[in-house]
Chain A
Amino acid sequence: SAVISQKPSRDICQRGTSLTIQCQVDSQVTMMFWYRQQPGQSLTLIATANQGSEATYESGFVIDKFPISRPNLTFSTLTVSNMSPEDSSIYLCSAQGHPLYNEQFFGPGTRLTVL
């Protein structure tokens, strides 16, 4: 399985600011995803990070609010822009190694608190 790291692991931010979360995988993976888990809720997919092209966003999520980069097959970033307290969540990246093997493995997550 892939080993995935995220940073920061947690942050406390002020309303109106932006935070960029980094996700690094120890091997090349085909697909990378970004999820949000709000307090007491399950995981909700924000977007699929596509290498070399724009991310594919799920309903309710837009690029202006959650810009995503994926410059290569091992790295991706998610930015939470113009934050409000409602953005307080755990943000998780996940990776999938091969289109034929469907396991998705998760990074350790970033716990974001917006004041």
Chain B
Amino acid sequence: EDKVVQSPLSLVVHEGDTVTLNCSYEVTNFRSLLWYKQEKKAPTFLFMLTSSGIEKKSGRLSSILDKKELSSILNITATQTGDSAIYLCGGLGSGATNKLIFGTGTLLAVQP
């Protein structure tokens, strides 16, 4: 059965810290891994990773995929209170349905 596991489940840091969130996956015919940020209700798309070893970057956020290890990390540098959210990763397999299998998420709290 396909599954995605995220760690840690929750994390509390102070503003300015750097954090690394982890995601491991077992997805049949894996195609891509997607990261989302969820603050209230709707997850906001962050990154889609398809190729191993190529870092994607957006401001203070970056992410990379390791297909050999079946994992991905999301880095946030110089954290701000506005980064407080649940970070979700989802694994996407090949096939007609294009459905995402989500992990349980990492709850990040950034304290002033």
In the assembly, what is the distance between CA of A45 and CA of B92, in Å? 12
In the assembly, what is the distance between CA of A103 and CA of B42, in Å? 15
By the criterion CB–CB under 8 Å, are A41 and B104 in contact?
Answer: yes
User: Least Cβ distance of B89 to chain A in Å?
Assistant: 10
Task: Closest B residue to A31 by CB, please name it.
Answer: B98
Q: Which residues of B contact A (CB under 8 A)?
A: 31-32, 34, 36, 40-45, 48, 50, 88, 90, 92, 97-105
User: Least Cβ distance of B34 to chain A in Å?
Assistant: 7
A23-64 CB contacts (< 8 Å) to partner B: 31, 33, 41-45, 48, 56, 58
Interface string of A89-114 (1 = CB under 8 A from B): 01010001001001111111101000
Q: How many residue-residue contacts, CB under 8 A, span A and B?
A: 58
| List of B residues within 8 angstroms of A92 by Cβ | 41-43
Known: A42-B102, A43-B90, A45-B101. 10 other contacts (CB 8 A): A42-B88, A42-B104, A43-B43, A45-B100, A102-B31, A102-B32, A104-B45, A104-B98, A105-B45, A106-B43
By the criterion CB–CB under 8 Å, are A107 and B42 in contact?
Answer: yes
Most buried by B among A41, A43, A58, A105: A43
Q: Which residues of A contact B (CB under 8 A)?
A: 1, 31, 33, 41-45, 48, 56, 58, 90, 92, 96, 99, 102-109, 111
In the assembly, what is the distance between CA of A106 and CA of B44, in Å? 7
Ordered by A's residue number, 15 sampled pairs between the chains whose C-beta atoms are within 8 Å are: A31-B98, A42-B88, A42-B103, A42-B104, A42-B105, A45-B99, A48-B97, A90-B41, A92-B42, A102-B31, A102-B98, A104-B45, A106-B42, A106-B43, A106-B45
In the assembly, what is the distance between CA of A15 and CA of B88, in Å? 31
Q: With A41-B104, A102-B32 as known contacts, state yes or no: A56 contacts B41, CB within 8 Å.
A: no
By the criterion CB–CB under 8 Å, are B41 and A109 in contact?
Answer: yes
| List of A residues within 8 angstroms of B48 by Cβ | 102-103
